[in-house]
Amino acid sequence: MPRARAPSAAARSTCAPAARPACTASASTTSTSTTSTASTPPSPSRTRSIGELKKLVEEGKVKYIGLSEASPDTIRRAHAVHPISAVQMEWSLWARDIEPEIVPLCRELGIGIVPYSPIARGFFGGRGVTQQVSAESSLKGHPRFSAENLEKNKQLYLKMEELAKKHQCSPAQLALSWVLHQGDDVVPIPGEKTEDRLACMCFLIEVKCVFKKS
Ligand SMILES: NC(=O)c1ccc[n+]([C@@H]2O[C@H](COP(=O)([O-])OP(=O)(O)OC[C@H]3O[C@@H](n4cnc5c(N)ncnc54)[C@H](OP(=O)(O)O)[C@@H]3O)[C@@H](O)[C@H]2O)c1
């Protein structure tokens, strides 16, 4: 299967042409992004953005192009303008919407998949179940964290906890392992604020690599 170049961390920048001055400035000073991610505008303007980003690739100012929150149609059209290296979408045991269309499409086109919120925005870390969601948190407005749904989801969390005990890990690690297990073209980005947690998650990624080699 043809495979686009693997993504590095999907560094954000706004869509070209807005990205152009930033990339030019960045190239002439210190660091440059290796991946430029086109996000939010509707499809026709995204296709234009990819055309502009393509020019930045040709000028050596950007190495890879990624998309965030893109529809299958946008992915196809963007990829026709320039190979897309990675697509960033929510994917976890709690959010599996991308499985019917986006995942097969990315595989067909050889695009890497970068699942964001692989721990379900902290839910598999116990947020909303064993930990409170703070009143100021944006999650308060998220339907999945509404009181009614949390009660239902709690049952799911308890099952995960049981399974995690069996595998001698935490529910968050189990949730991340599930995402990591979806394929070698899948590179999740969990939200880690402490070194300990980051080390834990890196360990899981290393284990995956070891299994892959053996
Ligand atoms: N493209 C987009 O539209 C989009 C949208 C959302 C997010 N993202 C990106 O995706 C990345 C992660 O998103 P996210 O923060 O929603 O991801 P997440 O990994 O699903 O959730 C992060 C939360 O999980 C908790 N957590 C992390 N590791 C844990 C562990 N080992 N044990 C227990 N709890 C743990 C953390 O809680 P604590 O607060 O206690 O540390 C953290 O707040 C970010 O880089 C973000 O920018 C992109």
Q: Give 66-104 pLDDT, tens digit per residue.
A: 999 999 999 999 999 999 999 999 999 999 999 999 999
Ligand 1 site, residue 68, Cβ cutoff 6 A: yes
Is residue 16's pLDDT more than 60? no
Pocket test for ligand 1, best of 89, 116, 127 (most atoms within 8 A of CB): 116
The amino acid sitting at 102 is I
- pLDDT value at position 41? 54
Is residue 29's pLDDT more than 60? no
- pLDDT value at position 66? 97
- The answer to whether the beta carbons of residues 79 and 105 sit under 8 Å apart is no
Is the pLDDT higher at 28 or at 86? 86
- pLDDT value at position 92? 97
Q: Which fold has domain 85-212?
A: TIM Barrel (3.20.20)
* For the chain, domain boundaries: 85-212
- pLDDT value at position 128? 86
Q: Give 145-178 pLDDT, tens digit per residue.
A: 888 888 888 999 999 999 999 999 999 999 999 9
Is residue 14's pLDDT more than 70? no
Ligand 1 site, residue 37, Cβ cutoff 6 A: no
Ligand 1 site, residue 193, Cβ cutoff 6 A: yes
- The count of other CB atoms within 10 Å of the CB of residue 99 is 11
- pLDDT value at position 32? 40
Ligand 1 site, residue 197, Cβ cutoff 6 A: yes
Give the pairing type, strands 86-90 and 112-116: parallel
In the predicted model, what is the mean pLDDT of the chain? 83
CA distances, 145 to each of 34, 164, 189 (Å): 35, 22, 21
- pLDDT value at position 10? 38
